Amino acid sequence: MSEIEAPQIIAESLVQQGVEYVFGIIGIPVVELSMAFQAAGLKYIGMRNEQAACYAAQAIGYLTGKPGVCLVVSGPGLLHVTGGMANAQVNCWPLIVIGGATNEDHEGIGGFQECNQVELSRPYCKYAARPPTAALIPLHVEKAVRYTTYGRPGVAYLDFPGNLLQSRVSEEKIYKTLAHPAAPLVYPPHDDVIRAVNLLRSAKRPLVIVGKGAAYAHAENILRHFIENTNLPFLPTPMGKGVVPDTAAQCVSSARTLALQKADVVLLMGARLNWILHFGRPPRYDKDVKFIQVDICPEELHNSVTASVAIQADIRPFAEQIFEQMNAINFRFSNDNDWWQVLSSKCRQNREAVHQMAMNTSTPLNYYTVFHHLRELIPSDAIIVSEGANTMDIGRSMLLNTLPRHRLDAGTFGTMGVGPGFAIAAALFCRDRFPGKRVICVEGDSAFGFSGMEIETMVRYQLPVTIVIVNNNGIYGGFDLETFEAIRSAGDLSQVTPPSALGVQVRYEEMMKMFGMKGHFCQTIPELQEAVKASQKLSDKPTIINVAISPSSDRKPQSFNWLTESKL
């Protein structure tokens, strides 16, 4: 019986479980493993930074429903991806991290890059293990894939010491596994569905919140029918955008604060009452509001507040059942209802205010003007990646989504630096499944600085990502050149340079010259329009559009801070 090397066993086990993509940075002891991945048919994408590789792997997991793999070296390589692991775990995205490790016989005596990697990973994982022998690798790979995709999706870590990667085992001794079936659906109790129906039909000011969980569950078809037929107002969470189109008549995103503050019954469809939804508490909600929570994870139920109806279920079967029950009683929330009248009026008022800012094309430009004209030119079915402070927050309301899983941003963990990695994953996903679909990566200048060298990865793999940098010279806000120089002339630069300041009008688009390509620097709307149109003609190349805006540009006045401040 022939012997098989451990790297081949790992690679073939991943392929057997339906894994397609690996992102990483190689070095000792995982060089041969990366080659085995390609030999087995896995798509390997070499990145420039481990964090970005981890962001790309988790984004492909979200988009495909199968975990992406992040391959890293021992010690520092693994430590560099802990931020990405935490981001995937909090975001509930499937991810497998595979780390090389120092030889087992070098542990405890100062081995090269020696690190207690399994225990370090455990807080950010659903499953973390080191296979004890090469023969048992398939068991642990199957378990890792299953843990990352069953129930609430998350992260698994597999640790491979150098001596294990160099080992061989007889084929007859290898643990045999089968590809596990798709995650089983959890159906809601019928009585709980009826309770939810009765609460919704009796509500005077109902509101549906559609979360990222509904997008991951591919529940868009039934939820669109449900919203359209019941005519209930809805709000999407940032990555719940597009499950029901932002352009739907029932979308009240323009009146978000009012809708949350005045609703008397809130139906949560794959959305959590965390900081993004202000924990479900006053003053952002009425003190007597009733919540209907639907979540795959029972531990999430009653989190932060006590729900009136708490249902452990997958979103899709719940949506099918509540739609059937609401349809059976011919329920439709009338547009003549006072609640709809109030919401519609507020939506019109806020849209008019935003439109006025968007029509102000004087220079330096503001966020609303840039996003309005960008939206007019990018395809309506583009995948939008976005990160930054105001860049991301304002972009959520200005850059619309009509399709699910077409918006990727900093997410629940609020992680900066995710943009280029997410964009690489999205571009690969589009190339393999939806050729011709565009990826638009909208970055603040600070956010771009975290992972900007991944532009080389995009060039190397011929990924047509349009990177739009909304450049205000700082974190949250910067300074114009005259003010910046005046401040810095006052003394020691480390003492007087404001912590929020970045360089003034840094020419990020010049990075494209490194590859013999052209970027675009824009200060006016005609320049932006010309740059966007030129970028859309590129079928196998990325580009950078660097848009200079006013350093003091801000969002419209808010009734509440995005974060609900603690008064303790």
Question: Residue 562: pLDDT band by 50, 70, 90 thresholds?
Answer: very low
Question: Residue 1: pLDDT band by 50, 70, 90 thresholds?
Answer: low
Count the domains in the chain: 3
Both 382 and 332 in one domain: the answer is no
**What mean pLDDT do residues 148-155 have?**
97
Instruction: Report pLDDT for 76.
Output: 96
Domain of 85, CATH number, reads 3.40.50.970
Residues 6+ apart with CB under 8 A from 75: 102, 112, 113, 114, 115, 117
Residues 6+ apart with CB under 8 A from 436: 430
Confirm whether 209 is domain-assigned: yes
Output 234 or 505, whichever has higher pLDDT: 234
Confirm whether 568 is domain-assigned: no
**Residues 425-471 pLDDT 10s:** 999 999 999 999 999 999 999 999 999 999 999 999 999 999 999 99
**Residues 400-424 pLDDT 10s:** 999 999 999 999 999 999 999 999 9
**Residues 40-69 pLDDT 10s:** 999 999 999 999 999 999 999 999 999 999
Domain boundary among 143, 173, 203: 173
- Pick from 416, 370, 409: nearest CA to 392: 409
Output 354 or 565, whichever has higher pLDDT: 354
**Residues 467-492 pLDDT 10s:** 999 999 999 999 998 998 898 888 89
Both 423 and 473 in one domain: the answer is yes
**What mean pLDDT do residues 140-146 have?**
98
Both 337 and 241 in one domain: the answer is yes
Both 227 and 130 in one domain: the answer is no
Instruction: Report pLDDT for 107.
Output: 85
Domain of 251, CATH number, reads 3.40.50.1220
Cβ–Cβ < 8 Å for 412, 238: no
**What mean pLDDT do residues 347-368 have?**
96
Is 140's pLDDT higher than 50?
Answer: yes
Domain boundary among 173, 208, 234: 173
Instruction: Report pLDDT for 566.
Output: 44
Confirm whether 353 is domain-assigned: no
- 331: containing domain: 190-344
Is 97's pLDDT higher than 50?
Answer: yes
Both 382 and 528 in one domain: the answer is yes
Confirm whether 28 is domain-assigned: yes
Is 13's pLDDT higher than 60?
Answer: yes
Q: In Å, what is the CA distance from 298 to each residue of 186, 272, 534?
A: 11, 12, 49
Both 199 and 156 in one domain: the answer is no
Residues 6+ apart with CB under 8 A from 444: 387, 388, 389, 390, 391, 392, 469, 470, 472
Confirm whether 505 is domain-assigned: yes
Both 150 and 51 in one domain: the answer is yes
Both 102 and 156 in one domain: the answer is yes
Both 339 and 478 in one domain: the answer is no
Confirm whether 350 is domain-assigned: no
Both 338 and 366 in one domain: the answer is no
Confirm whether 180 is domain-assigned: no
**pLDDT above 70 covers what percent of the chain?**
97
Output 552 or 526, whichever has higher pLDDT: 526
Residues 6+ apart with CB under 8 A from 299: none
- Report which residue type is found at 566: S
Is 296's pLDDT higher than 80?
Answer: yes
**pLDDT above 90 covers what percent of the chain?**
91
Confirm whether 160 is domain-assigned: yes
β-pairing, 439-444 vs 383-387, is parallel
**What mean pLDDT do residues 286-307 have?**
96
Domain boundary among 173, 205, 240: 173
Both 55 and 159 in one domain: the answer is yes
Instruction: Report pLDDT for 556.
Output: 66
Does the pTM surpass 0.85? The reply is: yes
Instruction: Report pLDDT for 90.
Output: 97
**What mean pLDDT do residues 109-128 have?**
94
Both 195 and 339 in one domain: the answer is yes
Give 2: exposed, middle or buried? Use CB within 10 Å, 0-12, 13-18, 19+: exposed
Is 20's pLDDT higher than 80?
Answer: yes
**What mean pLDDT do residues 238-257 have?**
97
Q: How does the average pLDDT of the chain come out, rounded?
A: 95
Is 248's pLDDT higher than 80?
Answer: yes
